[in-house]
Amino acid sequence: MHTARLGPTRALPVLGAILALALTGCSNTQQSPTASVGTSSSSSSQTSANPSSSGNHDIVIAIPQAQGAALDLEPCDSENGGPLVLRHNVIQSLTDLDPTTLAVTPLLATAWKQTNPTTWTFTLRDGVTFHDGAKFDAAAAVFGINRSLNNTKIACSDTAKVGAGIKLTPTAISTTELQITTNVPDPILDRELSYIDLVSPNTPADKLTDKPIGTGPYTWGTNTIGQSFVINRWDGYWGTKPAVTSAKVIFRPDNSVRAAVVKTGEADIATNIAAQDATGDSQTKVVPLGSVFGYRLPIQSAPFTDIRVRQAVEYAIDKASITKSLLSLTGTPADQLVVSTNNGFVPDYKAPTFDIEKAKSLLAAAKADGVATDTPIDLVGMLAQFPGSDEVEQAVQQNLQQAGFTVKLRIVDAEEWKKLLFKPFPPGQTPTILGFKHDNTSGDASSSFTSYMSTAGCCASLSDPAFDALFTKGLAAAGSERASLFQQAASLEYIAGVTIVPVANLTGLWLVSKRISVTPDILNSKFRFPLEDVTFK
């Protein structure tokens, strides 16, 4: 059983929202919200926040959102990257993750246990209310879970955070006791629920909302659609009172402009800045992303049906030089699809290192056996997938050409890129090496391997029964056994499959003002921004 270590407060800071490298929102239409419910201790900040004022504990955050574009604020779409500075600040989940170990920790649930392979019971925190005055109890938790995961009237992207094919049935046993049954065993349900945010039972169940009402330390404030929004500290919060009185999020899509608003004092934090805008001092913060950039090879298309051709791609890409020259502050060479904090990371596996002569010899051997190694190939990247991505794609193209491949580089917009990412792959297309960036901050490899390695995966070109068997066994296991099976499956793909060629482990950069202190962690990279971790100098 897991139990809380503190009384009415958490053992770890509450973290809030998604600060992703690439932001994609759903298409629900936003209406201009009314003022926040509940009590705000900083009502004046609903219209402005001036970080330069002496003693002012309002902050301004600049994010890479396109100005004029409506932001998806629906709590059950946090997987999309839209609810910035909402997750765990305005809305909260039953469980949380430790930002250092990625262990599951208490939040709105104080304890839990798996009583049998398909049944979990959760003890809920007592004395918690939503911002609109509704009581948080087991019935409210049932409503929130059903709204996000079992709702046919709205399509919530957070359903992707629960394993494929798993259906949850939540039941209120008492006011503070929640039971969840699953149709198949789910040994990491407690971890998955850290991504499912719970909203007030007064939230419409049959339509998306842009007025999130949660249990966090901040209430929803105002929304200037396409420009900014504000959240305000709530005096009725059940936990520790944060120092920040309000946070105004402003949209600045250009990297340099985003950095400039911090340098000029207009903002306190700029997320996802480019390396050239870094200050070289403590104002620039490195953010571990749990993110890997790499390539998916088209194993279904000649000449990549021959493993020697796929291995030639591995040897041809000079990861060390690319990351050093093009991603000096934001990338290091990658060997695997997941980072070392993930249970699918293989501790003793290292990918082949750059060897252009080895790449040439592998292609020559394949050609001698009749493989059409001179077949034209498309190398496809997504436009501005991360700072410097276009230059990385160009360098990889040059590497592959040097090895003997006939490669055309295409940089496409997100919509065109998605058509190539997801199955079914377009028929008759030119063999395509697709550049992709994959994030996994959950600590568990299930979503990564499901998407990119399993036969049934949305984005996988691999179809290997041996991999599927090991991975399926891992999905039903827990703890060290789960990790071991995942690592065995991954090793098989890396050595015998070679459909994924990792290139760079990515880190991000924030710029922060001199009046605040904050240390970003791996959870801030995609799903959370630590407003409660912000202190003032």
Residues 6+ apart with CB under 8 A from 126: 175, 176
Is the pLDDT score of 370 beyond 60? Answer: yes
Per-residue pLDDT at 202: 97
Q: What is the mean pLDDT of the chain?
A: 87
Cα(439)–Cα(32) distance, integer angstroms: 32
Give residue 388's region: left, alpha or beta (phi > 0; psi -120 to 50): left
* CB-based contacts of 238, cutoff 8 Å, min separation 6: 8, 125, 127, 128, 129, 215
The pLDDT value recorded for residue 328 is 87
What stretches of 117-176 adopt beta strand conformation (E)?
Answer: 119-124, 168-172
Q: Which of 85, 99, 511 is nearest to 285 (CA)?
A: 511
pLDDT, tens digit, 9 for 90 and up, residues 123-149: 999 999 999 999 999 999 999 999 999
Q: What one-letter code names the amino acid at 48?
A: S
Q: What is the pLDDT of residues 219-252, one digit of tens each?
A: 999 999 889 999 999 999 999 999 999 999 999 9
Summarised one tens digit per residue, pLDDT across range 245-278 is: 999 999 999 989 999 999 999 999 999 898 889 9
Helix orientation angle between 389-403 and 307-316, rounded to the nearest 10 degrees: 120
Mind listing the pLDDT tens digit for each residue in 77-115?
A: 866 555 568 888 999 999 999 988 899 999 999 999 999
- pLDDT, position 40: 36
How confident is the model over 49-74, as pLDDT tens digits?
555 555 689 999 999 888 887 778 88
Number of CB atoms found within 10 A of residue 104's CB:
22
Q: Does the pLDDT of residue 173 top 80, yes or no?
A: yes
Lowest mean pLDDT among 43-52, 229-238, 478-487, 510-519: 43-52
* Cis before 303? omega within 30: yes
Q: Residue 387: is the preceding peptide bond cis (ω within 30°)?
A: no
